[in-house]
Chain A
Amino acid sequence: MNNSALLKILKVESDEWPTFAQMLGHSFFNSLGIAFSFTAINVLLINLHGIELLPWIYLFGGLMVLGFGRIYAYLESRVPSVQLFAGVLLFGVSWTLMARGLTVWGDTMLMLAVLYALYLALYQLINLEFWGAAALIYDVRQSKRLFGLLSTGESVAKMGGYLATPLIVSVFSLSDLLFFAAASFGISFFFLFQLSRVNTRALDVDHDHHHGDHQVFHRKSLLAKFLEIIPKIKDSYLKITGLFALFSAVVYYLVHYSFLNRVEVHFDNIDELAFFFGMFFGIGKGINLLIKLLLYSRIFNNMKIGFIILLFPLTIGVLALFGMVGQFFVADDLIFFLWVFGFIMLMDEVFRTSIYLPSFFVLFQPLKKHQRLEGHTIAKGYMEPIGMAVAGLLMVALMWQNIFRLNIIILFLGVAAFCWIGIGILLSGKYREKVSHLLKNRLLTSSNIQLTVDEMEVLSGDEKSTYDPVTQLYRLKLLGAQMPLNERNSTLIELLKSDSEMILYESLSLVDEYPNEVFWPYLIEMLTHPDHLVCKRASFVYCKHLQEESLEAMEGVIRESEGSRLEYYLAAVLKYSGLYGAIQYGRILMEMIGSENAADRKSAARIVALIGRSNYYHPLTILINDSDKKVRKEAIIATSKVANDRMLPLLIRRYRETDISRYAARAIEGFGPVALPYISRELNKLYPREDLVRFVKLIGRIRGEESEKILFPLITHKDFEYRKEAIYGAFRMGARFADREKISALEDVLKLELEVFAVLKNQIYRKEGLFENHLCEAFRNEIRQIKGRVLRILGLIYDKHLIQRALDNLRNRDAFLRSNVLEMLESEIKMKHCKMVIPILEFKLSGVSPEGNQNEAISRTRVMSELLDKPLIGISDWTLALLIRYYRENDLSMDHEHLKRLSEMRSDVISQELNN
């Protein structure tokens, strides 16, 4: 088996391999050191003093480990990560040498207890060190894929270490075992050094996040510093993960004690103990390793992380329940508990590091770098020792009450396990929320801006006395209807005297809402206001409320004006001043329509637009066919304001004119669903394909159920361009196809996209691909487009906002943020859909082939069959055109059926290449 095949099986990408191998080596030697240390300290404890000391060790060891956790967290925010990690390994070597000293120079109960507690601290620190480094190096998607594999180093080492222990102890001695442990930590240091050289940037953490914390820590008294040991966790997500870790630890130490308690009864000499520990844990790690290699990736590919973290607690819960109930049905409960606790301990060995811990650490990976480390420290550095101390305290309390029996412990174990499961369920939901929340939301729109109750109170209460015009404006807008008439009028008059165009413009809409004759003199003045918008709104509000009476004032301003002001005045009187105004000024409008000057005709179109009444459509039927493009453009814009259905056929005809189609499209959109039957009819005509595709696009711009009905069949249309536009259009309008039949049709489209993706990916990985720039770029671009399309298809099945958030964030340069997007999708959508889209979304367009672009077996001529033999073509005209050119330039012959299919596509670029 060559290296690339191995990487493929392990699902490690080629560029990840050097770091992965170093991490694996680091994990192996860390764990070997721990396995030797663990065996040595447990054998010493049981052999020299007995198991009764253990609850006290848990209790005080827990506090000691908590202190070490605190020191680690303190240093973590001050010392560069690599130095801190190296310090942990140095502590490991020191501990083994201390333990060796104890075995040589004799021991006391206190010394052994201290040494055991220090071992527990070492175990925590080694965990923090290794998983901390992994957390900094990998993003959430890599973590899910690699964390389990990384811990195989640990399984292999511990299995080997435990199994080698009886041999080492029989050939050398128990104290020599500790030398082997020291050597392991030393070699691990070498791997850490290598890692730090390759991953300098990843292992660098921004320490600014913690600075405030240090300063506070420094200034406090000794007592306050001691109290600092109790962690303060602000983030609710970290609190819940911390609680989850706490119960995990309580369960572990209860099981650990109960297991050792049973073992102690059965073995009483050092060789037998070493042999039993070696074999028991060796077998446990063997099964653990098999699970990692055979089941790990299947579990992580088929289950969501929220469920995976529950697998282990559920197993322990069920076994504890079995123990609680089973004791009543057996004759010898001591033997029964040996089996029960032995089996639970074995399950713990099997599942804790293979499934549980990798999935638990993945929970922190969507967070920012410093929060990831904080999460690890809280879970392993704080909560585990607290859990240990709680377990110890519980056992000491039971001893004190003389009820320290295994049937009582199994009861506590059951309660702890079910609390653990409950918190796990809560955590699973929180994880989904957190991943979603961590992604940046889209920009707020004005619809999100709302006044709070407090702001409303300010506006309606004390602010009465203020003369700030903006505040008064808001008061009138929000509370105008409830205000006394006099107060409202006087406030509004004050505003109409303002120098600010913005205040005047807004005040005019209030005049429109609360008309009163006291305002008219101010409006007449504003008819000639220098600001065009104020002048325009004043004309319309004045004519609207005074109708025929407005003519007197308007006559004067019309006579003296020209350009856009004349357009406003004429539109206002024609719209509101009744029959007399229409007769008097309609004549001017007709003259403008018939004018030889294009500027007059353009003005006429704008006046009609300003009037915006459907009975004014007739002038537009003339202007929309004008010889001048700019007049046609204005007429089209006016059509959308006039909104008379009779204009639709004319507009649709204009839509096919490329130079003004943008305006025609907007005008047609303005008609809304009324326009749909007209557009649908066009789809059946023999227009060029580009025009028909544009009509599909136009349907996608009109929101509503009717559009969705027309678009849905187009999503599965045989023409790729139709399908593409229909998907984009349906997604844009927020269509959702929830029924089973439609979802199944969308899944078929997703499958096609996945198949095309596989073909293109292989083509990119082809050896010669490196030298075919245009073609390779086209394939990469196709995959880029497929990424966008599959997400939009998901948006038709799931919530559009979720998918929009994914689309927005996938463009981000931050790889960690992009990996969070995939994690969010995996949390929110069904696994079967994940399997269709995640491989596409995860594909690195700039990456290299895992085979190193050496795959010569993939023929370029095969690509045509792979793409064209499918019932639906799933690739753009551009790429097909380039492929045709490639065939021609390399004198390759094309299959007759493929030629036929290509020529039936009615694509300009493909036809050109075929005819060349």
Chain B
Amino acid sequence: MEFLVDKVFSLKSISVFESLPEASLLDVARIMEIEEFERGEEFIKKGDIAEDMYIIKSGKVEVHHDGSVLAVLGENEIVGELAILAPIRRTASVSAITDVIVYRIGREFFMDLLYEKPELMSDIIEVLIGRIINLNEELKKYKSIIDKR
């Protein structure tokens, strides 16, 4: 059996969640499901509408696009983080290169949770706004470098 406390600690490794209080993540942990994929199984297909996000619990996966491998991901790494926030299209496929166990969080479940826990929603909005602010700062920095040139 996987403990909720450990699931929460795993969630802390996701950038959207890293600055959220652990107690708020307990509800997210409750909607996490364990799923297993066999070696070679393609569990994300490029072009599909993303419905779920995965946290790799054990094993390795490869992210590939038109035959070339873009990345190899392992334990505690995330696949499709933004899928839980918006129904975007998958930009690459993902296959298991070993037997893999993942935590899956479905967008529908997550949206239900946000509806039930508006405070979690506002925490996430704060995180996203923080990211926008940081990106703006980065842009300003690059702009000033370009202007100097």
Contact = CB atoms under 8 A, between A and B. Distances in A.
State whether these chains interact: yes
Interface of A: 658-662, 665, 690, 694, 697, 774, 777-778, 781-782, 784-785, 788, 876-879, 881-882, 885, 908-909, 912-913, 916
Interface stretch (B54-62, B64-72, B84-92, B103-111): B103-111
A397 B30 CA distance: 84
A843 to B, nearest CB: 16
Contact of A658 (B1, B22, B31): B31
B73 interface: no
B23 A879 contact: yes
A909 B116 contact: no
B1 A774 contact: no
Given A778-B22, A876-B23, A909 B109 contact: no
Given A908-B4, A909-B5, A661 B116 contact: yes
A777 B5 CA distance: 14
Given A784-B21, A879-B23, A658 B3 contact: no
Contact of A912 (B3, B22, B108, B116): B3
Contacts of B5: 881-882, 885, 909, 912-913
B87 to A, nearest CB: 14
Contacts of A777: 21-22
Contacts of A781: 21-24
A270 B1 CA distance: 93
A665 B3 contact: no
A913 B106 contact: no
B1, B24, B116, most chain A CB atoms within 10 A? B116
Given A659-B112, A781-B21, A879-B23, 5 more contacts: A658-B31, A660-B112, A665-B115, A697-B116, A878-B22
B30 A881 contact: no
A774 B23 contact: no
B26 interface: yes
B3 A913 contact: yes
A662 B116 contact: yes
A631 to B, nearest CB: 14
Nearest to A732: B118
A873 to B, nearest CB: 15
A785 B112 CA distance: 22
B83 to A, nearest CB: 16
A785 B111 CA distance: 22
Given A785-B23, A908-B4, A662 B31 contact: no
Contacts of B115: 662, 665
| Chain A binding surface, main DSSP class | helix
A659 B33 CA distance: 13
Contacts of B31: 658
B26 A877 contact: yes
Contacts of A694: 116
Contacts of A912: 1, 3-5
A774 B3 contact: no
Interface in B1-60: 1, 3-5, 8-9, 21-24, 26, 30-31
A659 B108 contact: yes
Contact of B4 (A661, A782, A876, A909): A909
Question: What band does the interface of chain B fall in when counting residues whose beta carbon is under 8 Å from A?
Answer: 20 to 34
Nearest to A912: B3
Nearest to A664: B112
Given A778-B23, A781-B22, A878-B26, A658 B4 contact: no
Cβ-closest 10 pairs across A and B? A878-B23, A781-B21, A662-B112, A662-B115, A909-B4, A878-B26, A912-B3, A781-B23, A659-B108, A876-B23
Contacts of A697: 116
Contacts of B26: 877-878, 909
B23 A659 contact: no
Contact of B30 (A660, A788, A876, A908): A908
Contacts of B116: 661-662, 665, 694, 697
Nearest to B3: A912
Contacts of B23: 778, 781-782, 785, 876, 878-879
A666 to B, nearest CB: 8
Nearest to A780: B21
16 contacts: A658-B109, A659-B108, A659-B109, A659-B112, A660-B108, A662-B111, A662-B115, A665-B116, A690-B30, A694-B116, A777-B21, A788-B119, A885-B5, A912-B4, A913-B3, A913-B5
Contacts of B3: 912-913, 916
A879 B26 CA distance: 11
Nearest to A785: B23
A665 B21 CA distance: 26
B54 to A, nearest CB: 18
B30 A774 contact: no
B140 to A, nearest CB: 19
B130 to A, nearest CB: 11
Contacts of A660: 108, 112
A667 B109 CA distance: 17
Contacts of A782: 23
B17 to A, nearest CB: 13
Nearest to A878: B23
B30 A659 contact: no
Contacts of B4: 881, 908-909, 912
B27 to A, nearest CB: 9
Nearest to A910: B4
A853 B108 CA distance: 44
B109 to A, nearest CB: 6
Contacts of B8: 878
Interface in B97-139: 106, 108-109, 111-112, 115-116, 119
Contact of A659 (B1, B9, B106): B106
Contacts of A788: 119
Nearest to B29: A909
A778 B4 CA distance: 15
A885 B8 CA distance: 14
Contact of B22 (A659, A662, A774, A913): A774
A876 B117 CA distance: 15
A878 B23 CA distance: 6
Contacts of A916: 3
Contacts of A774: 9, 22
B125 to A, nearest CB: 11
Nearest to A781: B21
A665 B113 CA distance: 12
A777 B22 CA distance: 8
A661 B22 contact: no
Contacts of A690: 30
A874 to B, nearest CB: 14
Nearest to A694: B116
Contacts of A877: 26
B37 to A, nearest CB: 22
A658 B109 CA distance: 7
